A and B are shown apart, each in its own frame.
Chain A
Amino acid sequence: MLDALLQMDCLDLAQAIKAGRVTSLEVTRATLDAIDRYNPTINAYLTVFHELSLDRARDVDRRIEAGQRLGPLAGVPIAIKDNICTTFGPTTCGSRILANFRSPYNATVVDRLLAADAVIVGKTNMDEFAMGSTTENSAFGPTRNPWDRDRAPGGSSGGSAAAVAARMCFAALGSDTGGSIRQPAGFCGVVGLKPTYGRVSRYGLVAYGSSLDQIGPLARSVRDCGLLMNVIAGHDPRDSTSVPGAFAEVEDMLEQLDTPVSGLRIGIVKGALDGADIPVQRSVAQAIDVYRDLGGQVVELQIPALDYAVATYYIIATAEASSNLARYDGVHYGYRSPHARDCLEVYTRSRAEGLGKEVKRRIMLGTYALSSGYYDAYYLKALKVRNVIRQQLSAAFEQCDCILMPIAPTTAFRLGQMVADPLQMYLADVYTIPANLAGIPAISVPAGLDEHGLPIGLQIMAPAFCEGRLLRIARMFEAATGWTGLVPTGLES
């Protein structure tokens, strides 16, 4: 039997720990037991901090006993995606080139979690440098989906999503450049939020596509996503792209969470569902009914520029990646090829031996799109199309409070299904990419199971800096359906 403790949500657990009803040590031990039991097959974690987390749990318990006031995540076991820098343990980004890298500093989000008295139990598996939609591009082996171990958990934050779903932590941080929080959350039946670009500091997040990357929470309830946002969001002077708090519609994401949005206008994009599988289409139709029953009104939208989103995204993201990943040169840190005979070969061979195939493919695409003679036709053109996409989305939000979409055209892929054809894998990101291009917040909420018993995710998008309202809208759906918090059927086998 799954330990009942592990079924609690972060908010209840932190309160129980603070009130002395349960100790952080008990909870952390139960979490580590779950990791020992499931991780050998699921491979959600690349590093587990056994000793460190028990020490930290004891410290939390000691301070509570001494009557100290603790932070909002007091004693709660949390996991961190392995592209987020920690001074403890390696930060590998799922890459051979950083297999032994140890960060000299913590990411701001890590400092904030620690200041909130969370217990960080480990670093989670991911597609190498967050490039991929299956977590199969990890240099350290794929993560398996807790709902069906022959399937991928999605990606690139597949380790974080699988760890949250399989009760190997209470919540996790991921990063989302083109859907990397929301799609694995959808495939694993958990809640995943990509915040507005600039809402959460990227200091200490290893860069992939800098104008698109954003850190966000994966959790088992909408409420816990709000709780984690309260901890990690806010201005950081160390990240010049992080925005002052005044831009945010609300600072406290929990205050009004249970107050439904009255007069809710739900946007549906005409033709957007055409490419999705029937169960996915059905789940969106059911979601529309749920909101109608709650008094919502449906608005049909025309956003024709969305047809260009995938091409635009893959030009911009790979261009930024080719520039960002130039730093992996075998000189200052990371893997250096023992076969290099001169300085140029230190670069070319270290990169050849240290980077995986998908990363090389994207570096090649981005280098091409930025190269002399092709820059205007690809990169510059894509930046203009990005502007059109953003303008059309802004115009759409004049008519509605949020937009409903699937997370992906299908439920979880079979392992190996996407390996041979990269373009097919890119095309499956069609629903998640627009939010990154426009810099707006979007959430994945569980919306039932398909005929194979696999989770389906519903995506809700909102205007920039409206996370508070987005979470309230997601909470309405969660409260009406009860699809969140489901335990994977395969967990006990």
Chain B
Amino acid sequence: MAQGIDRALVRKVASLARLDLTEQEAEEFTGQLGAILDYFNKINLLDTTAVEPLAHCLPLTNCLRDDQVGTCLQPQQALANAPDRDGDFFKVPPILDEEAGP
């Protein structure tokens, strides 16, 4: 299987992606990601020496606009979907350990 995709690597990638995986998901993904990455490796058969990477297909470069004042979302609109809020602020649980202090 490709690059030794094991449970520990799947856990590491999940942590990078900020995803909690169940044991069952971790096991399932270990097998599936290994098989899919094996398939992905086929791109190495194509010689791309001297080929530039293509990030997009647009015939455009540097799309700039004039710096003009326009309308934007009002605070109440921006906050309307917030799962939790405090006045005009989005509210989340403490980020820092209280004992450790800032």
Contact = CB atoms under 8 A, between A and B. Distances in A.
Contacts, number: 168
Contact of B43 (A312, A347, A423, A464): A312
B46 interface: yes
Contacts of B73: 104-105
A383 B57 contact: no
A341 B81 contact: no
Given A342-B94, A422-B36, A367 B82 contact: no
Given A247-B59, A361-B29, A331 B92 contact: yes
A368 interface: yes
A331 B90 contact: yes
A479 interface: no
Interface residues of B, number: 52
B84 interface: yes
Contact of B19 (A104, A364, A381): A364
B53 A361 contact: no
Q: Which of B18, B53, B73, B93 neighbours the largest number of chain A CB atoms within 10 Å of its CB?
A: B18
B16 A371 contact: yes
Say whether chain B's binding surface is mostly helix, strand, loop, or mixed.
Answer: loop
Given A315-B40, A351-B20, A439-B58, A368 B53 contact: no
B80 interface: yes
Interface string B14-34: 101111111001000100110
Interface in A172-222: 197-198, 211
B95 A351 contact: no
Given A237-B65, A367-B16, A308 B43 contact: yes
A384 B80 contact: no
A381 B44 contact: yes
Contacts of B25: 357, 360
A342 B93 contact: yes
A171 B19 CA distance: 38
Contacts of B95: 342-343
Contacts of B43: 308, 311-312, 315, 381-382, 385
Contacts of A24: none
B100 interface: no
A213 to B, nearest CB: 11
Contacts of B80: 102, 104
Interface in B55-97: 55-60, 63, 65, 73, 77-78, 80-84, 90, 92-95
A303 B36 CA distance: 24
Given A311-B39, A332-B82, A343 B14 contact: no
Interface of B: 3, 10, 13-14, 16-22, 25, 29, 32-33, 35-37, 39-46, 48, 51-60, 63, 65, 73, 77-78, 80-84, 90, 92-95
Interface of A: 100-102, 104-105, 197-198, 211, 237, 240-241, 243, 247, 305, 307-308, 310-312, 314-315, 322, 326, 329-336, 340-349, 351-352, 355, 357, 360-361, 363-365, 367-369, 371, 374, 377-378, 380-388, 390, 422-423, 426, 438-440, 464
